[in-house]
Amino acid sequence: MTMAMSIAQFTFFSRATSSSFLNRTNARFNRFTFSTPFSTADATCTRKKNGRLPVLSALELGGVKIARDDVVRDDPTNNVPDSIFSKLGMQLHKRNQHPIGILKNAIYEYFDANYSNKFDKFDDLCPLVSVKQNFDDVLVPADHISRSYNDTYYVDSQTVLRCHTSAHQAELLRDGHTHFLVTGDVYRRDSIDSTHYPVFHQMEGFRVFSPKEWEASGLDGTSYAADDLKKCLEGLARHLFGAVEMRWIDAYFPFTNPSFELEIYFQEKWMEVLGCGVTEQEILRNNGQLDSVAWAFGLGLERLAMVLFDIPDIRLFWSNDERFTSQFTKGKMGIKFKPFSKFPPCFKDMSFWINESFTENNLCEVVRGVAGDLAEEVQLIDNFTNKKGMTSHCYRIAYRSMERSLTDEEINELQRKVREQVETKLNVELR
């Protein structure tokens, strides 16, 4: 698919900022939404008594056999809930009729056409990676917030569910790859709203240059790579979108310098769709590339697909409802999603005194565990500290199914369970 149209306004915008890599609390600390487990994968299943969709008990990913008990354990070094385990193996990016798969294929097309099939493609690398792969290999500092149990899903103290596809950069470099694309599901404990979800898909791109490539240009290697990177991604944007409003933002990532983010104007807001930059020399040196320079990028596939297919809520990607799935066709990029009937939300408020260890990501996990995707949004609506120094939070939970009407009875039961678990699991005092 080739789009000859040009980007209407591709503004280059500079912001001296500290925003970024996995600094995920900024600007969205009081709203989040959740997911419900379901599965279409063919594997051993245990059906839950509550009628919810089944949770897999074993599956195979990228040649690695994974049992539920390997990933979800009642042990302080583990914080993976069943709702997350049930997403492992779903591999939306490998479904050619799903917006994420359609988008992946369209990006492949762009790279194949423009780089004569030079990019090696990986979309089946196991999402369970070591702490070393996910963080150390890409120079994430020891005290970086993204390493915390509050932000990342740990299987044990040395193993995580990858929180970005950058976790595979080093091994692929060591294996001698110089041009590659890695697509995969990534996992983050995160405050969630219509554009954030605890499981989403990224595509990593990586290109190594040898000295003779930049020497002829008269530029230094870093400037050469940065120019090439922006040209590559602008071309990709034109290929995918034709006309759309975008801007570049200066950013920070531990693994690139300089670093940038690309934002697209969507639903009356600027939405960040990718991070990128010129790879730190140390990563290249550590992995057998001594005199080279490289660029890397990480695309958020859901974010791009939301814009391309007009999908208003990130939860929809996980819907098995035919009214969603039947709207997309293999290889077709021009389709705009037509929302099916919207059922009314039901709001429930709850207040409690927080303690020192309280975090919104933990609350988010409790609500998600009880209500799955029926919890559409959790919003902090009141926050005060009394004279004794005790802080109270009031959260409003919006329950809504995208597929059917919920009964009062059902919602009251969900809310009762949420209250109970918030009290027992988070040790807070309900008001």
- The site for ligand FA5 (CB under 6 A) is made up of 20-22, 164, 166, 188, 190, 196-197, 200, 202, 204, 253, 255-256, 259, 272-277, 296-298, 300, 302-303
Q: How far is the CB of 330 from ligand FA5 (least distance, A)?
A: 24
Q: How far is the CB of 270 from Mg ion (least distance, A)?
A: 12
CA angle 149, 192, 353 (to 5 degrees): 70
Task: Judge contact between 429 and 352, C-beta under 8 A.
Answer: yes
**Residue 54 or 81: which CB sits closer to ligand FA5?**
81
Q: Say how far apart CA 249 and CA 274 lie, in whole Å.
A: 10
Q: Which two tokens stand for residue 194?
A: 């219509």
Could you tell me where the beta strands, DSSP code E, fall in 302-412? 346-353, 375-385, 391-399
The partner in contact with residue 173, picked from ligand FA5, Mg ion, none with C-beta cut-offs of 5 to 8 angstroms by kind, is none
The Cα diameter of the chain in Å comes to 71
Total residues at the site for Mg ion (CB under 5 A)? 2
Q: How far is the CB of 389 from ligand FA5 (least distance, A)?
A: 33
Q: Say how far apart CA 84 and CA 189 lie, in whole Å.
A: 10
**Residue 305 or 428: which CB sits closer to Mg ion?**
305
The partner in contact with residue 376, picked from Mg ion, ligand FA5, none with C-beta cut-offs of 5 to 8 angstroms by kind, is none
The partner in contact with residue 197, picked from Mg ion, ligand FA5, none with C-beta cut-offs of 5 to 8 angstroms by kind, is ligand FA5
| Beta carbons within 10 angstroms of residue 407's beta carbon | 10
**Residue 55 or 246: which CB sits closer to Mg ion?**
246
The partner in contact with residue 226, picked from Mg ion, ligand FA5, none with C-beta cut-offs of 5 to 8 angstroms by kind, is none
Q: How far is the CB of 146 from ligand FA5 (least distance, A)?
A: 8
**Residue 221 or 275: which CB sits closer to Mg ion?**
275
Residue 419 identity: R
Q: How far is the CB of 166 from ligand FA5 (least distance, A)?
A: 4
The partner in contact with residue 303, picked from Mg ion, ligand FA5, none with C-beta cut-offs of 5 to 8 angstroms by kind, is ligand FA5
Per CB under 5 A, which of residues 15..44 are in contact with Mg ion?
A: 20
Q: Say how far apart CA 355 and CA 339 lie, in whole Å.
A: 41
**Residue 19 or 223: which CB sits closer to ligand FA5?**
19
Per CB under 5 A, which of residues 269..308 are in contact with Mg ion?
A: 275
Q: How far is the CB of 277 from ligand FA5 (least distance, A)?
A: 5
Query: What H or E segment, with its residue span, contains residue 314?
Result: none
Q: How far is the CB of 189 from ligand FA5 (least distance, A)?
A: 9
Q: How far is the CB of 317 from Mg ion (least distance, A)?
A: 19
The partner in contact with residue 395, picked from ligand FA5, Mg ion, none with C-beta cut-offs of 5 to 8 angstroms by kind, is none
The partner in contact with residue 193, picked from ligand FA5, Mg ion, none with C-beta cut-offs of 5 to 8 angstroms by kind, is none
Q: Which among 337, 90, 94 is positioned nearest to 198, based on CA atoms? A: 90
**Residue 99 or 275: which CB sits closer to Mg ion?**
275
**Residue 111 or 197: which CB sits closer to ligand FA5?**
197
Residue 336: DSSP 8-state = -
Q: How far is the CB of 94 from ligand FA5 (least distance, A)?
A: 18
**Residue 204 or 377: which CB sits closer to ligand FA5?**
204
Cα distances from 427 to residues 1, 216, 287, 354, 421, in angstroms, run: 54, 64, 46, 8, 9
Q: Say how far apart CA 327 and CA 59 lie, in whole Å.
A: 29
Candidates 13-21, 127-135, 179-187, 281-289: pick the segment binding Mg ion (CB under 5 A).
13-21
Decide the pairing of beta strands 179-187 and 120-122. Answer: parallel
Tell me: cis bond preceding 344? Omega within 30 of 0 counts. Answer: no
Candidates 12-20, 71-79, 289-297, 408-416: pick the segment binding Mg ion (CB under 5 A).
12-20
Cα distances from 263 to residues 104, 291, 417, 423, in angstroms, run: 19, 32, 39, 39
Which residues have C-beta within 8 Å of that of residue 286, sequence separation ≥ 6?
137, 170
Cα distances from 278 to residues 163, 253, 296, 342, in angstroms, run: 20, 10, 6, 44
Task: Judge contact between 397 and 415, C-beta under 8 A.
Answer: yes
Task: Judge contact between 284 and 208, C-beta under 8 A.
Answer: yes
Q: Say how far apart CA 119 and CA 266 lie, in whole Å.
A: 30
**Residue 20 or 289: which CB sits closer to Mg ion?**
20
**Residue 266 or 399: which CB sits closer to ligand FA5?**
266
Q: How far is the CB of 255 from ligand FA5 (least distance, A)?
A: 6
**Contacting residues toward Mg ion, per CB under 5 A:** 20, 275
